[in-house]
Amino acid sequence: MKKADKYKELFNKEYLMGPNSIRLLEEMLEKYPLRRGTRVLDLGCGKGLTSLFLAKEADVNVFAADLWISATENNIRFNEWEVSDKVIPIHADANDLPFAEEYFDAIVSIDSFHYVATQPNFFKKKI
């Protein structure tokens, strides 16, 4: 059984914001695993499914940043999912992130990069 199968019930119309982000993330982590305790920015986390998966399955500390979903709304979900000790919700614009340079060990952006990286050289300038 794939780890993503444990989250099937959450992949429904209430949380759906695009393709199956959990499956995409699991495939990415199989190829590029994260060390336990790593500090990860989940850029464009939406309603937090990828942040939940990162916290539970990769055992990393997640900063769940999104512009369209409020940090309060995500915080409620993270508390319900019992991952609030590993996931910090952030309401932020990817073009104006409130973090120090080189603060994160890794950045994950599952099915959201195309929304935030609309400016030329976004990756080079912002990330």
List, for residues 44-95, the tens digit of each pLDDT value: 999 999 999 999 999 999 999 999 999 999 999 999 999 999 999 999 988 8
- CATH code of the domain in which 42 resides: 3.40.50.150
Specify the pLDDT at position 20.
Answer: 78
Beta bridge partners of 41: 63, 107
The 3-state DSSP class for residue 44 equals coil
Spatial CA neighbour of 83 closest among 47, 65, 109, 59 = 59
Domain count, the chain: 1
Q: What is the pLDDT of residues 31-56, one digit of tens each?
A: 999 999 999 999 999 999 999 999 99
Query: In degrees rounded to 5, what are phi and psi of residue 92?
Result: -150, 150
Residue span of the structural domain in which 53 resides? 3-94+103-126
